[in-house]
């Protein structure tokens, strides 16, 4: 079972029932502004599993798994984006976790 650091600094178990999968497509000026690396940094800080990639049409796509509370924090961050980005819209899909990723990575353009 995954662990995370609680607010008091102790390690706590995260139940599988608490885990969710977030898929998001971010639209706007989100390529060429460090968006994928911004997202990876935030996701790694939150200890989420998953990936982020550019799409050929100019959007960015991400898939992340972890506690719903932490996924909401990631979602809030990508709605803001890095300083040079302009986020027009974020399409979100929630589902059950697949457990097929460990760590958070930048993938090649799709």
Q: Is residue 2 part of a domain?
A: no
- Give per-residue pLDDT as tens, 52-71: 999 999 999 999 999 999 99
pTM across the whole model: 0.84
Options 54, 89, 98, 107, the catalytic residue: 54
36 assigned to active site:
yes
Which CATH number fits the domain that encloses residue 48? 3.30.70.100
Helix segments in 32-92, DSSP class H = 35-45, 68-80
The whole domain housing 46 covers 17-96
54 assigned to active site:
yes
Options 19, 21, 36, 40, the catalytic residue: 36
Q: Is residue 37 part of a domain?
A: yes
User: Given the structure tokens 């609680």, which residue do they identify?
Assistant: 6
The token pair that represents 66 in the structure block: 């972890």
Domain total in the chain: 1
- Give per-residue pLDDT as tens, 42-53: 999 999 999 999
Q: Is residue 9 part of a domain?
A: no
Taking the C-alpha atoms of residue 18 and residue 109, their distance in angstroms, rounded to an integer, is 30
Q: Is residue 56 part of a domain?
A: yes
Q: Is residue 1 part of a domain?
A: no
Segment holding 104, helix H or strand E: strand 104-106
């Amino acid at each position: 079972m995954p662990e995370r650091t609680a607010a008091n600094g102790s390690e706590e178990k995260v139940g599988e029932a608490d885990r969710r999968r977030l898929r998001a497509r971010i639209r706007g000026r989100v390529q060429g502004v460090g968006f994928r690396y911004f997202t990876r940094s935030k996701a790694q800080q939150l200890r989420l599993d998953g990936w982020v990639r550019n799409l050929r049409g100019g959007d960015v796509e991400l898939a992340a798994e972890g506690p719903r509370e932490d996924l909401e924090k990631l979602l809030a961050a990508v709605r803001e984006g890095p300083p040079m980005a302009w986020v027009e819209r974020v399409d979100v899909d929630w589902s059950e976790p697949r457990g097929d990723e460990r760590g958070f990575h930048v993938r090649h353009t799709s």
